Chain A
């Protein structure tokens, strides 16, 4: 079964607002990654957080990881219409598999 579960499944916000997506997983991990996918296209890696890290920033992105709760969140600040996409968390285990969560469909309205 898929490792990560995400919520919300869909999120609609206005430009300039912040967007928060959450991801939960089931087993131990080496790292957790977030990817973005524009409709019908390939995925693009956004950010990686290791299992011994709690928070990481990259531009307008902020990722947190709570290994005790097996959960992560992705915050996009000051959203733009161009941020409209699907966002997936993915967990990597020792075996080298990268397994994706169900994804959050983000719509940012101008």
Chain B
């Protein structure tokens, strides 16, 4: 299995809602990532988990809350979002944590397209 699966594919939520994005991989990868991508822009790194511990938080607002329940799963909990948070949210995984040359080739999921009304 060489896939990263993201659910849901599309999500529409109001500013007062609480929702979650889910990501799953069964490649034995030990690093998992959340990226945010706006239209015609590059992906922007949000969070990195290495060996199930949060290793990088790129100063993301607290209305985004990541969770890594185990080495195969990564969630992104959403609460009190703003319309400007509408974007494609991409999950990715890689073999190892930081510091291993070549270990951070990323396998991406297809993304969850989020619309905040």
Q: A residues bordering B, Cβ < 8 Å? A: 2, 30-31, 33, 35, 40-45, 48, 50, 88, 92, 94-103, 105
Contacts and interface: CB of A to CB of B under 8 A. Distances in A.
A94 B99 CA distance: 5
A30 B101 contact: yes
B76 interface: no
Interface residues of B, number: 30
Given A96-B50, A97-B56, A43 B31 contact: no
B47 to A, nearest CB: 11
Contacts of B102: 30-31, 48, 50
Question: Most chain-B Cβ atoms within 10 A of its Cβ — which of A96, A98, A100, A105?
Answer: A96
Contact of A42 (B41, B45, B101, B111): B111
Contact of A92 (B56, B104, B110): B104
Contacts of B31: 96
B106 interface: yes
Contacts of A94: 98-99
A88 B113 CA distance: 20
A48 B105 contact: yes
A30 B98 CA distance: 11
